[in-house]
Amino acid sequence: MCSATARTDRAKPNAPGRPKDMGKRAAILDAAKRLFVELGYDGVSMDQIAAAAGVSKLTVYSHFGDKDALFAASARAYCEQRLPAELFAANPDVPLRERMLEIAQAFYAMVSSPEAVAGHRILCTPQMADSPVPTIFWEAGPKRVQGEFADLLRRRMEAGELEIDDVSRAASQFFTLLKGDQHARLVMGCGEAPCREEARKHVAASVDMFLRAYARRDATP
């Protein structure tokens, strides 16, 4: 009786629903981000990710379910790392233009990074045409960023700093403006990332153009 109880107690940590090992989860995400960039989506197996993370394949599936979900989680983790939620937090003490410059600089640095450029190239391959992966990526990354920025715009509208008829459209316009033609050239391999000063000028000009379109005329950004 006592030995049976002991066996039951020892089995409890493996029961479904127990807390996940966050260290292993982080290792899996790091390995997945690196391998997806290096080998492409189709070139990476869950076995490879498990080996690179130093965990079992069962552990990878336990945390993420399947490769699509792991890709989505990798995209989300990368976006959240480069564009943390704190950037979009309500903080009326920070001037509007200053807050938008912080977001714009972080976004431009993210999309211009080698990792992000490689990821966009993966999404543009013919193999992705009939795949759910681009939609998964969109939901996990760009849609989240645009949604949080749209919420920030609404809060600034309530504060009387902006006048926007279609907030979702304005949020999309902001990030499209920031990408400009340079991002497309990077993805196509026919350009290089601009120097820091040129990037700063581009970001500032994009923010100022957005504010000229949507700032209240009687408000100070």
Is 150 inside a domain boundary?
yes
Residues 89 and 153 in one domain: yes
Alpha-carbon distance 154 to 158, whole Å? 6
- Are residues 123 and 180 both part of a single domain? yes
CATH number at residue 173: 1.10.357.10
Residues 51 and 105 in one domain: no
**Residue 193 within a domain:** yes
CATH number of the domain that 35 lies in? 1.10.10.60
Q: Mean pLDDT for each consecutive 10-residue tract of the chain (221 residues)?
A: 39 46 92 89 92 95 91 85 87 91 95 86 81 83 92 95 97 95 88 86 97 84 54
Whether 107 and 134 share a structural domain: yes
Quote the pLDDT of residue 9: 38
Residue 11 falls inside a structural domain: no
Domain annotation covers residue 90: yes
Q: Which of 117, 87, 137 is nearest to 189 (CA)?
A: 117
- What pLDDT is recorded for position 155? 95
pLDDT at 37: 83
**pLDDT score for 16:** 44
pTM (two decimals): 0.79
* Interatomic CA distance for residues 143 and 133, integer angstroms: 14
Res 214: pLDDT: 97
Task: Verify that 99 and 163 share a domain, yes or no.
Answer: yes
Number of domains in the chain: 2
pLDDT for position 1: 39
Q: What does residue 139 show for φ and ψ, rounded to 5 degrees? A: -65, -40
The token duo for 84 is 């943390």
**Is 77 part of a structural domain of the chain?**
no
Range of the domain at 186: 84-214
